[in-house]
Amino acid sequence: MGLGTVLGAKEAYSAKCVESLWPSANRAGVTRATFNRAFQGFQPDPEVVEAAKYQPEYVKPIGEYVDRAVSAKRLEKGKEKLLEYKPLLDALEARYGVDRHILVAIWGVESNYGEQPGDKNVIHSLATLICSGTKSKYARSQINSALKIMQRGDVPFEIMNGSWAGAMGHTQFIPTTYTAYAADYDGDGKRDIWTNIPDALASTASYLKVSKWQPGQTWGYEVKLPSGLNPNRISKNTLKTVGQWQKLGIVRINGQPFPRPGDKASLFAPEGTRGPAFLVLNNFRSIRRYNVAEAYALAVGHLADRLAGYGPFVQPWPTDEKRLSLEQRTELQQLLISRGFMGGDADGIIGPDTLDGVRSYQRARKLPVDGYPTQTILNMLRAEIPPPLPVRKSEVLGQTQSAEAVPPLPAIQDQTGSIGQPQPAKAPPPPAVEDQTGSIGQAQPANGGIELPSGPPANAATNGPLPAIGSGEPATLGAGEPAVRQN
């Protein structure tokens, strides 16, 4: 078979796949002219499929992720942006009540202050995901919104770019979030989050405001746990007042009093007793509306505190784990499946199912329950050889059946990113955004308390319940309290 035949088959498949999107787009109000223009010359992008399989927030320990997201360079650049956009930030704080350091921190983590907004055509990325069967459920939920944005002309089609997952512009809004929450701050009739910084930062502020951001309050406090309190035995969903947590012996790491003992907080100790621990408040849950991953919210909150002049976390992160390769992640999933700790398929994509599987395993082995798929967990699973099946003598032929049977080799999933191959039937995890932007995907939501307003998150589709928020104190503008206040 010649190369031409292969390419021809792929092109035919792509054309058929694109045409299958038309009836739904048509029902959503997309014109045929828009549709044709959008898909003129469309070719699936193998890089999109490849990127969809790499989710740094799950293969990287949280401390490494936070350290990378809050790099010295990003901090320095953020301080410059605070000065450069001071009048705009003054106005946005006054209008939306959202702290300027949080706005700048989100800008920094999402797109490196607009330097890395993603250069892939959003509609083509989404079509690639749909046609390749990789995160196609998510992509299907976004593509008609993307086509409508193009049709309205908020941005020229040529620069309607974003990440591989279709997160767009400075703020990395996915199309449905853009449609619901983007703001036209300068009043020119266009909500331009691609090239207009006032529109972009106002969109972020507007979105945090509807996510019930409480002005003047921090997202959380770094705390010291009393000896004997095992954070792994406390559900992340447990909401208590700060005062109730204090009665359990939890204090701020710097010894300062909690300013509002009535705030509803949950305990967030992602590395158990081996790393920093936090009481996280309403505003942490608001940040998670932007991107539900806890690592993301922690990175944004911490970068904001650092931009405001406060110091690093007091307790260091553990640094003893290497991250897993795609093959190792697939093997880890296979081992978890074969031992009954998770269902579904081993595809090397670490999503909520795998995190739950790792947690179940950690619980069963009385390990700290953090859900991180580490080298240690993989090694432990490898060492747990299932008991050998009874073997008849005739099959053994005099050889001793070794008890050290090698576990089945992992099935390596297609890594070529070739389009059109069926993917595992497992429901795809929500999107994560490219590593260089520091953006991340899905983690387990905290819940309990009051429901957040309905509507899509900024850049991570959610499978489960969105993080809910507790009752906030009356809004009082003023300096928030950082996690690690130095004075």
Helix (H) or strand (E) segment spanning residue 252: strand 251-252
The first and second tokens of residue 390, run together, are: 């009874």
Residue closer to Ca ion (CB basis): 191 or 306:
191
Pairwise CA distance, residues 401 & 409, whole Å = 19
| Interface positions, 199-228, toward Ca ion (CB under 5 A) | 199
By the rule CB under 5 A, 184 interacts with Ca ion = yes
Least distance from Ca ion to the Cβ atom of residue 295, Å: 32
Phi first, then psi: give them for residue 368, nearest 5 degrees.
-55, 130
Of 190-198, 220-228, 271-279, 317-325, the window that binds Ca ion (rule: CB under 5 A) is 190-198
Least distance from Ca ion to the Cβ atom of residue 145, Å: 19
By the rule CB under 5 A, 50 interacts with Ca ion = no
Of 64-72, 183-191, 384-392, 437-445, the window that binds Ca ion (rule: CB under 5 A) is 183-191
Residue closer to Ca ion (CB basis): 151 or 462:
151
Taking Cα atoms as reference points, which of 296, 168, 237, 300 lies closest to residue 465? 237
Least distance from Ca ion to the Cβ atom of residue 124, Å: 25
By the rule CB under 5 A, 88 interacts with Ca ion = no
- Is residue 223 within 8 A of residue 484, CB to CB? The reply is no
Residue closer to Ca ion (CB basis): 143 or 183:
183
By the rule CB under 5 A, 190 interacts with Ca ion = yes
With CB under 5 A as the contact rule, the residue among 11, 90, 115, 186 that binds Ca ion is 186
Residue closer to Ca ion (CB basis): 192 or 345:
192
Of 29-37, 176-184, 249-257, 348-356, the window that binds Ca ion (rule: CB under 5 A) is 176-184
Helix (H) or strand (E) segment spanning residue 130: helix 122-132
Least distance from Ca ion to the Cβ atom of residue 162, Å: 18
Pairwise CA distance, residues 177 & 115, whole Å = 21
Taking Cα atoms as reference points, which of 295, 258, 299 lies closest to residue 279? 258
Q: Which residues pair with 221 in a beta bridge?
A: 279
Phi first, then psi: give them for residue 227, nearest 5 degrees.
-65, 140
Cβ atoms within 10 Å of 193's Cβ, excluding its own? 28
By the rule CB under 5 A, 188 interacts with Ca ion = yes
Taking Cα atoms as reference points, which of 203, 92, 108 lies closest to residue 477? 92
Pairwise CA distance, residues 276 & 314, whole Å = 7
Q: How many residues bind Ca ion (CB under 5 A)?
A: 6
Residue closer to Ca ion (CB basis): 199 or 434:
199
Residue closer to Ca ion (CB basis): 199 or 481:
199
Q: Which stretches of the chain bind Ca ion, using CB under 5 A?
A: 184, 186, 188, 190, 192, 199
